[in-house]
Structure formats: structure tokens, C-alpha cells
Amino acid sequence: MMDSNEEQRLRELVRRELEARERMKAPDVSPQSAQWNQADQERQKIIADEIRRFYEARGNFQSFTNEEGEVEWLTAEEIAERQKQIPVDVEELEEGQKHVRVHFVVIALLGFLILALLIFAMRERTGSVQVISSVPGATILLDGIATEFRTDYMLRDLSPGTHLISVQKSGYGIAGDPARRIEVEAGEEVIVIFELQPRNGGGFGQSSN
């Protein structure tokens, strides 16, 4: 088992290690560090000034800021060559991107408008029949064929012309005409109502299976 002195030494070592790590993370704001930073700035200023004097004394050099923001000293011919190598001006590039975005939005809107017109035109060439029964949940028959739809339901996109509509529900029959001939017109909606009665109620035209 670790004695108290050994434990205390271990705790002090851990604390010194943590303090050293924190000192490494923290920026050095000591007076000596500030003096070094100031001296470094002065050295950089002297170097830049001496470079400027050197090239200005030669007469045919000019300062040129490249794409990375660095200052270079080049002749007029070298500067002209550098400017030729720049493919597209930044402002021109941004303007081109704006035009592309505008064109994309316009094309998308036109596509949406055309699609909406097509859907509207398709619906205008078809009709709808609202099928209602006194007892909801009856299977709807369209032209003698059972559909997946149950009352009350709107049959949409029906081709213009005559359609035979009926319903079926287990335990019920249809009072009156069991099948209705409905004339569907383009863009119009027709409502057909069936009265369902229990099979043992009598007075209906047809019982369902």
C-alpha cells in the first residue's frame, strides 16, 4: 500500500505536469515575449524596407501583389505576363455565377409551370364521379370490375363517356337500380348515391356476395 509521503509526491508531480501543459497552451504574454515580438516586427519592417530600396534603386522594378497576397518585385513585362495568366477576374466570376443561378431558377420555374399546365390539361380531358353509399365502406365497381376503393370515394381521371358504377358490401344489397349508368364529361364531377339495406330487409334490387 502507498504511504502518505509517496502519495503526496505523486500528487505534486501530476499537478506540475498539468501546470506545464497549461503554460504551453496559453499565449506568452510576458514582458520578455512582448519585447521579442516587437523586435521581430521591427526586423521584418527593416527587411521589407531594404528590399524596397534595393529594387527601387534598380529602376525597372515595381511591387506586385500576387493572388496569395504576397508582395513581389517584378519588371513591367513580368507584371503584364502575370496578369495575362489570371484566367478570370474575381468580380467577373461572381457575376457569371449569379447569371447561372438566375438561369437555373428561371428554368426550374418554367419546368414547374409546364408540368402544372400538363396536369391541368390532363384533368380537363377527364371527369370524376363521387360514389356515396348509405353504409360506408362498400367496394366500388367500375364498369363491372371491382376496384380497390371503398365508399365514400371520388373516382378521378375517368375518360369521358358512359361508365357503369355499382357497389358491393357483405350482408347488404342495393335498393333500386343496382348499377348506374353515368355519363362522364371532361372537367365535370358527377355524384352517385347508393342506398344499402340488409339482405333480410327486402325491397332492394340485388344482394352482394
Residues 75 and 95 in one domain: no
Considering the domain architecture, whether residues 28 and 91 belong to the same structural domain is answered as no
Q: Which pLDDT score, from 0 to 100, does residue 138 have? A: 94
Q: What's the chain's average pLDDT?
A: 79
Identity of the highest mean pLDDT range in 1-5, 77-81, 164-168: 164-168
Q: Based on the fold, state whether residues 146 and 171 are members of the same structural domain.
A: yes
Query: Once rounded to an integer, what is the mean pLDDT over residues 35-55?
Result: 78
pLDDT band of 155, cuts 50, 70, 90:
very high
**Partners of 191 in the beta sheet?**
130
Choose between 46 and 130: higher pLDDT: 130
Q: How many domains does the chain have?
A: 3
The model's confidence at residue 20, banded by pLDDT at 50, 70 and 90, is confident
- 107/37 same-domain check: no
Percent of the chain having pLDDT more than 70? 81
Write the burial class of residue 167 (CB in 10 Å: 0-12 exposed, 13-18 middle, 19+ buried). Answer: buried
Residue 183 pLDDT > 80, yes or no?
A: yes
d(CA 175, CA 198): 10
Determine the pLDDT at residue 193. 92
138 shares its domain with 194: yes
- Looking at the structure, tell me whether residues 14 and 81 fall in a common domain: yes
Q: Note whether 166 and 197 are same-domain residues.
A: yes
Do 192 and 141 meet the contact criterion of CB atoms below 8 Å apart? no
Asked whether residue 181 carries a pLDDT value surpassing 80, the answer given is yes
> Confidence band (pLDDT; 50, 70, 90) for 81?
confident
Backbone angles phi, psi at 135, to 5 degrees: -115, 110
Counting beta carbons within 10 angstroms of the beta carbon of residue 174, is it exposed (0 to 12), middle (13 to 18) or buried (19 or more)?
A: buried
Beta bridge partners of 181: 164
Does the pLDDT of residue 25 top 70, yes or no? no
Q: What is the mean pLDDT of residues 95-120?
A: 80
* CA 25 to centroid of chain Cα atoms: 41
Neighbours of 79 (CB within 10 A): 16
> Taking the model in full, what pTM does it have?
0.40
Shared-domain flag, residues 25 and 96: no
CB burial of 120-142 (b: ≥16 within 10 Å; e: otherwise) equals eeeeeebbbbebbbeeeebbbbb
Domain coverage including residue 105: 87-124
Q: Which residue has the cell 364521379?
A: 129
Percent of the chain residues topping a pLDDT of 90: 22
User: Are 115 and 172 contained in the same domain?
Assistant: no
The terminus-to-terminus CA distance of the chain in angstroms comes to 90
- Verify that 143 and 187 share a domain, yes or no: yes
The Cα 157–Cα 139 span in angstroms is 18
The DSSP secondary-structure symbol of 3 reads -
